[in-house]
């Protein structure tokens, strides 16, 4: 497979970054201060090994995508996988004054934490695109906190919402064609926490691919995991499917 010069440079740079975040934890954590520290409990050492193994595994997936992906979208998925491995967002910018440690806030407050917001957003993005990589990145946050979140719901309200979305039977609604406002009002006119909606003239959203109007009328496709029912054109029919 041949790559253009600019594309090749991008792939080389991404490879260096991927190798960095994959190998650095091995060098930093597999020693007597972390993974083999006799003062740490076995459970704590297990989490270190699990985290480092996850870095290496997703790093390997990213490398495969970087060097085998043809479409630009797949290359960006590799970038997303690389970014997702950092496990959330720092609470301070990288050019902030020097700190002993940069925090990654996990608990939700009136404003959701970066980890919860990212997990929920990635789950919805996965439903709209069918890209399981987004879902896997979100599950990294859920796996980390699924035990403590139900025990302290006031501290993890937004994360619990993301968990509820993940375990529910999410319905993906694609609306295609002109004059779609009545169908859109059906979806948006009620509280539907387990529904994602895609519509508009663009075909860039995977959920809209192959969806067309019916007899010149706007049509709604109600799907689960991209398996769709017969399209409907009447608001009452759409409401019954939701």
**What pLDDT digit, counting tens, does each position of 185-238 carry?**
999 999 999 999 998 776 678 888 889 899 999 999 999 999 999 999 999 999
On the 0-12 / 13-18 / 19+ scale of CB atoms within 10 A, 54 is middle
Give residue 5's pLDDT. Answer: 57
Percent of the chain with pLDDT over 90: 30
Which residues share a beta bridge with 214? Answer: 217
Residues 48 and 129 in one domain: no
Residues 6 and 52 in one domain: yes
Give residue 14's pLDDT. Answer: 77
The dihedral region occupied by 183, where left means phi > 0, alpha psi between -120 and 50, and beta the remainder, is: alpha
Residues 11 and 69 in one domain: yes
Give residue 196's pLDDT. Answer: 94
Residues 11 and 66 in one domain: yes
Give residue 86's pLDDT. Answer: 45
Sequence-separated (6 or more) residues with CB below 8 Å from residue 235: 182, 183, 185, 186
Residues 82 and 7 in one domain: yes
Measured distance CA(170)–CA(113) in Å, rounded: 23
Select from 147, 167, 187 the last residue of a domain: 167
Residues 196 and 159 in one domain: no
Of 92, 89, 124, the residue nearest 106 (C-alpha): 89
Contact 140, 84 (CB under 8 A): yes
Contact 171, 195 (CB under 8 A): yes
Select from 132, 167, 202 the last residue of a domain: 167
**Residue 193, CA distances (Å) to 151, 163, 197, 211 in order:** 22, 12, 11, 23
- Domain extent, residue 99, equals 88-167
Residues 35 and 96 in one domain: no
Give residue 6's pLDDT. Answer: 55
> pTM of the predicted model, to two decimals?
0.60
Residue 57: band (very low, low, confident or very high) from pLDDT cuts 50, 70, 90: confident
Select from 65, 86, 107 the last residue of a domain: 86
pLDDT digit string, tens, across residues 4-33: 555 677 778 778 877 776 777 777 777 777
pLDDT digit string, tens, across residues 62-110: 777 777 755 455 545 655 554 554 455 565 666 667 766 666 667 787 7
Give residue 138's pLDDT. Answer: 86
Measured distance CA(150)–CA(160) in Å, rounded: 7
pLDDT digit string, tens, across residues 123-149: 998 998 888 888 888 888 888 888 888
Q: Which of 34-38, 65-69, 175-179, 237-241 has the lowest mean pLDDT?
A: 65-69
Higher-scoring residue by pLDDT: 57, 163 = 163
Sequence-separated (6 or more) residues with CB below 8 Å from residue 13: none
| Count of the separate structural domains present in the chain | 3
Give residue 133's pLDDT. Answer: 84
């Amino acid at each position: 497979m041949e790559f253009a010069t600019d594309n090749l440079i991008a792939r080389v740079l991404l490879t260096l970054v991927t190798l960095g975040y994959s190998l650095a934890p091995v060098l930093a954590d597999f020693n007597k201060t972390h993974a083999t520290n006799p003062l740490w409990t076995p459970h704590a050492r297990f989490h270190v090994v699990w985290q480092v193994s996850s870095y290496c595994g997703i790093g390997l997936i990213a490398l495969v995508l970087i060097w085998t992906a043809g479409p630009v979208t797949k290359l960006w998925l590799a970038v997303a996988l690389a970014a997702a491995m950092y496990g959330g967002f720092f609470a301070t910018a990288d050019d902030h004054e020097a700190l002993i440690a940069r925090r990654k806030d996990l608990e939700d407050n009136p404003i959701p934490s970066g980890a919860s917001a990212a997990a929920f957003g990635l789950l919805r993005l996965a439903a709209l695109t069918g890209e399981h990589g987004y879902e896997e990145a979100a599950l990294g946050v859920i796996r980390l906190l699924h035990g403590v979140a139900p025990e302290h719901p006031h501290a993890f309200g937004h994360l619990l919402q993301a968990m509820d979305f993940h375990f529910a039977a999410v319905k993906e609604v694609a609306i295609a064609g002109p004059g779609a406002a009545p169908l859109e009002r059906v979806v948006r006119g009620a509280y539907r926490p387990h529904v994602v909606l895609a519509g508009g003239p663009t075909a860039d959203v995977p959920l809209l691919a192959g969806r067309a109007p019916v007899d010149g009328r706007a049509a709604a496709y109600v799907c689960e995991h991209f398996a769709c029912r017969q399209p409907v054109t009447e608001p009452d029919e759409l409401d019954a499917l939701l």
